[in-house]
Structure 1
């Protein structure tokens, strides 16, 4: 395997990790949308729903980048769980601010994952992935910003 092949394989693996985290972030955000309670219910319910829709919209784009690079994507919930770094949250009794804080932390970590994947795209000479990740990063930074301002 050449250095370029190794770089491409590392990028595909990173994109699949990003895809797993995208699904995990989507499910967690949707979970909080369904279970949020308290005085800010209305606003948070709508915010979480909008953020979940934005995150879900990335899944196909990321998977198609993997396929365009000649790789295979995640095939099951088990495969997602095995690659995801964003942790599940099954406690439906969390208060609203704990939900906001968890999603802020997860979106901030997601930005770091995007930046690491962008670096690998550069090493692999994949200009298309390198460029599109900028848009995905901007979206994630905006989600984190909105959440951070609620916590402040």
Structure 2
């Protein structure tokens, strides 16, 4: 007999309801961090000035484009686990572990420092979720987290190299 109710069928993907809730919650925090870092990076792309303008303007564009392309897979993984992805500034502000962009654009190297801290924070968020996804046998989430860790750690390293004397 066909399911004629308007309710979606229960999710049976081999991950317990409890683990799906916890992983989706963690991924929601990752999404908030990623979106906040995206917005900050885009802000800095628009507002960077000084002798490193061309280098930083282009670098920030590559970075915000990568971050923009990351938000959709994170949100879609949350949806795949049966949960609603956060999507408002209020939700992101409440969930993000990194602060919003400064109201007034800082100097170029201060922007770089802020972005280093942001990428390191997002890496910590992703790393904090990984053990749960791994224990739950959630390979798609674990793979997504591994990919995000690699990007954020490499980007933080590249930005830090601009601060070395």
1:6 Cα offset (Å): 2.1
RMSD: 1.4
Match of 2:73 in 1: 61
What aligned pairs does 1:127-146 form with structure 2 within 5 A after superposition?
127-146=139-158
Match of 2:7 in 1: none
**Higher helix fraction (1 or 2):** 1
Q: Gapped runs of 5+ residues in structure 2?
A: 1-14
Separation of aligned partners in 2, 1:54 and 1:81: 21
The answer to whether the 8 A contact 1:35-1:92 is kept is: no
Match of 1:44 in 2: 56
Worse-superposed segment, 34-43 or 81-90:
81-90
**TM-superposition CA deviations, 1:45-66 (whole Å, max 9, x none):** 1101110000111100000000
Separation of aligned partners in 2, 1:25 and 1:137: 14
2:159 aligns with one of 144, 147, 150? 147
Residues 1:81 and 2:55 are matched in the alignment: no
Number of aligned residue pairs = 150
Structure 2-normalised TM-score?
0.86
